[in-house]
């Protein structure tokens, strides 16, 4: 897609060939995993530089290694751009990715055993938001999770009761597949009532915040984390932002966050990634980015509307963000079958839990779709209708194939049965793939933003 790989071709043709195949796959399929996107050529060029050779533990002006004059300038510029774009007084751009960023916030603000509260995985949260047993955040802290109501929406009155009862030290307002906007003001009111810190994890929606189509948490949260490779279209990394509200509450917060990242949890920052993030932040500060963010939401709304017209049940009834989740229980299909069937047709999504899912996470009842990457390719509402029709055709053909093979939901857990089912639907999936190919040709992957 973007790489010339002049040297790699010669030194390691096997890896070069696999990279080319992956880039070709990204070009000829519809990237509909809502956490994925296409970074620009400029971002990728910054990543593939000699900055990866340098160690620079510490922060600009206070490193533990010599030779950091230019690294300091790059990191400082990155920080300044982030501060300007988000209107916050302090940013740490060193976290390697979202999970380390959230862990650093916990390390800075909490002691083991403190109560944290986040949205459950099935309701749309993230592993690091306190999922019990499986995760660091669920094992080292006393984790209380909140859920959406039976309508798929967060019920803030129920949340208030839960917060008053459990009195968490830290509340996470953040999502990975909750399709609705969060009310950060309400979260802050509830957190203030029990003296809890409010962490907004805006990894999925950061680009929408920049575009003004999602609420801005800056006036309400103490700390904000975000990954930088989703709607922001940067490299795989993360940032931690401290707000004025957070600083007012704790004037040492900047230092606490910085010390938690380094030396608390990480060693040397990935300088090539930080340079690429600086580039992405510059791109996100252009007027075109605002149009981009608005279009993501318009596209998701149209996709949801059309799927709804086809009779699909969407979690929360639709979306007002970039993401939607189809609840496949009415179709009696597993998310696995649908995600694999869609992939066979060139539409790349991921299987996902739905709220109150009776099935386990590995065999969930939903499929998650998003529009950020399609929008980066320049697709608009008309294309979303074509894609919704294509998704419908795939799901209907899988449903029919399953009936003809007389498979149960339990049978569907077996990979070979799913492969059989997808083979049976082969002709229809091929037809859909022709539509996908035509769309991909008409909307090539964008190299410049």
Catalytic, out of 55, 181, 183, 329: 55
Hunting for tokens 């857990």 — which residue is that? 413
Measured from the CB of residue 195, what is the shortest distance to ligand DSN in angstroms?
29
* CB nearer ligand DSN, residue 59 or residue 106: 106
Binding mask 143-182 for ligand DSN (x = CB under 6 A): ---------------------------------x------
> Which residues have C-beta within 8 Å of that of residue 400, sequence separation ≥ 6?
425
Catalytic, out of 227, 243, 349, 371: 227
Q: How many residues sit in the footprint of ligand DSN (CB under 6 A)?
A: 4
Bridge partners, 154 (sequence order): 148
Position closest to ligand DSN via CB? 35
Residue 331's closest CA among 404, 407, 399, 403?
399
Measured from the CB of residue 236, what is the shortest distance to ligand DSN in angstroms?
10
Measured from the CB of residue 118, what is the shortest distance to ligand DSN in angstroms?
13
165 is catalytic: no
* CB nearer ligand DSN, residue 5 or residue 315: 315
* CB nearer ligand DSN, residue 126 or residue 377: 126
What token pair was written down for 94?
């060193």
* CB nearer ligand DSN, residue 100 or residue 217: 100
230 is catalytic: yes
55 is catalytic: yes
Bridge partners, 425 (sequence order): none
For residue 277, give Cα distances in angstroms to 173, 197, 210, 381. 24, 27, 15, 29
Measured from the CB of residue 267, what is the shortest distance to ligand DSN in angstroms?
22
* Burial of 26 (C-beta count, 10 Å sphere; 0-12/13-18/19+): middle
* CB nearer ligand DSN, residue 33 or residue 194: 33
Task: Provide the H-helix boundaries in 211-260.
Answer: 244-249, 253-259
Measured from the CB of residue 446, what is the shortest distance to ligand DSN in angstroms?
21
* CB nearer ligand DSN, residue 338 or residue 401: 338
What token pair was written down for 75?
């990191």
Measured from the CB of residue 163, what is the shortest distance to ligand DSN in angstroms?
24
Tell which positions 69-98 bind ligand DSN, by CB under 6 A.
98
Determine the Cα angle at 363 with ends 357 and 366, to 5°.
Answer: 55
> Which residues have C-beta within 8 Å of that of residue 137, sequence separation ≥ 6?
102, 103, 106, 116, 118, 127, 128, 129, 130, 131, 143
Give me the DSSP letters along 148-173: B-TTSSB-HHHHHHHHHHH--SEEEE
Q: How many CB atoms lie within 10 A of CB 272?
A: 19
Please answer whether residues 323 and 340 qualify as being in contact, where contact means their C-beta atoms are separated by less than 8 angstroms. Answer: no
Catalytic, out of 59, 96, 106, 201: 201
* CB nearer ligand DSN, residue 79 or residue 202: 202
Tell which positions 386-445 bind ligand DSN, by CB under 6 A.
none
Please answer whether residues 269 and 75 qualify as being in contact, where contact means their C-beta atoms are separated by less than 8 angstroms. Answer: yes
Please answer whether residues 315 and 355 qualify as being in contact, where contact means their C-beta atoms are separated by less than 8 angstroms. Answer: yes
201 is catalytic: yes
DSSP state at residue 39 = P
Catalytic, out of 54, 181, 236, 282: 236
Q: What is the largest CA-CA distance in the chain?
A: 69
Measured from the CB of residue 261, what is the shortest distance to ligand DSN in angstroms?
18
> Which residues have C-beta within 8 Å of that of residue 190, sequence separation ≥ 6?
156, 159, 160, 163, 171
Measured from the CB of residue 98, what is the shortest distance to ligand DSN in angstroms?
5
* CB nearer ligand DSN, residue 5 or residue 122: 122
- Site membership for ligand DSN, residue 228 (CB under 6 A): no
Tell which positions 18-37 bind ligand DSN, by CB under 6 A.
35
Tell which positions 95-134 bind ligand DSN, by CB under 6 A.
98, 126
Which of the residues are catalytic?
55, 57, 201, 227, 230, 236
Q: Kindly list the residues in this chain that would bind ligand DSN in the complex (CB under 6 A).
A: 35, 98, 126, 176
């Amino acid at each position: 897609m973007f790489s010339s790989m002049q040297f790699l071709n010669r030194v390691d043709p096997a890896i070069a060939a696999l990279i080319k195949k992956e880039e070709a796959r990204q070009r000829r399929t519809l990237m509909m995993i809502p956490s994925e996107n296409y970074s620009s050529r400029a971002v990728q060029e910054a990543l593939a530089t000699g900055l990866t050779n340098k160690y620079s533990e510490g922060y600009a002006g206070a490193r533990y290694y010599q030779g950091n004059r230019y690294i300091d300038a790059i990191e400082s510029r990155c920080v300044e751009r982030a501060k300007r774009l988000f209107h916050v007084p302090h940013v740490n751009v060193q976290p390697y990715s979202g999970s380390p960023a959230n862990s650093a916030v916990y390390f800075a603000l909490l002691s083991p055993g403190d109560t944290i509260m986040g949205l459950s995985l099935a309701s749309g949260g993230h592993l690091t938001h306190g999922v019990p047993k499986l995760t660091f955040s669920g094992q080292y802290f006393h984790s209380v999770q909140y859920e959406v109501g039976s309508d798929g929406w967060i019920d803030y009155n129920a949340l208030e009761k839960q917060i008053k009862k459990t009195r968490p030290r830290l509340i996470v307002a953040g999502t990975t597949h909750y399709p609705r906007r969060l009310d950060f003001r309400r979260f802050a009111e509830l957190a203030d009532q029990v003296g809890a810190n409010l962490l907004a994890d805006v990894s999925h929606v950061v680009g929408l915040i920049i575009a003004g189509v999602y609420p801005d948490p800056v006036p309400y949260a103490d700390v904000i984390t975000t990954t930088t490779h989703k709607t922001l279209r940067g490299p795989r990394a993360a940032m931690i932002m401290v707000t004025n509200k957070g600083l007012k509450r704790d004037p040492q917060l900047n230092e606490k966050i910085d010390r938690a990242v380094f030396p608390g949890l990480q060693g040397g920052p990935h300088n090539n990634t930080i340079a690429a993030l600086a580039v992405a932040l510059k791109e996100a500060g252009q007027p075109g980015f605002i149009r981009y963010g608005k279009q993501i939401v318009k596209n998701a709304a149209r996709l949801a509307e059309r799927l709804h017209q086809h009779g699909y049940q969407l979690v929360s009834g639709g979306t007002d963000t970039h993401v939607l989740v189809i609840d496949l229980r009415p179709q009696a299909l597993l998310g696995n079958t649908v995600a694999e069937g869609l992939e066979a047709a060139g539409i790349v999504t991921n299987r996902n839990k739905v709220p109150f899912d009776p099935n386990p996470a590995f065999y969930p009842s939903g499929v998650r779709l998003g529009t950020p990457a399609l929008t980066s390719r320049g697709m608009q509402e008309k294309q979303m209708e074509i894609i919704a029709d294509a998704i419908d055709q795939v799901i209907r053909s899988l449903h029919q194939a399953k009936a003809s093979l007389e498979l149960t939901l339990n049978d569907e857990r077996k990979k070979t049965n799913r492969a059989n089912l997808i083979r049976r639907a082969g002709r229809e999936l091929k037809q859909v793939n022709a539509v996908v190919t035509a769309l991909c040709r008409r909307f090539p992957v964008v190299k410049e933003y």
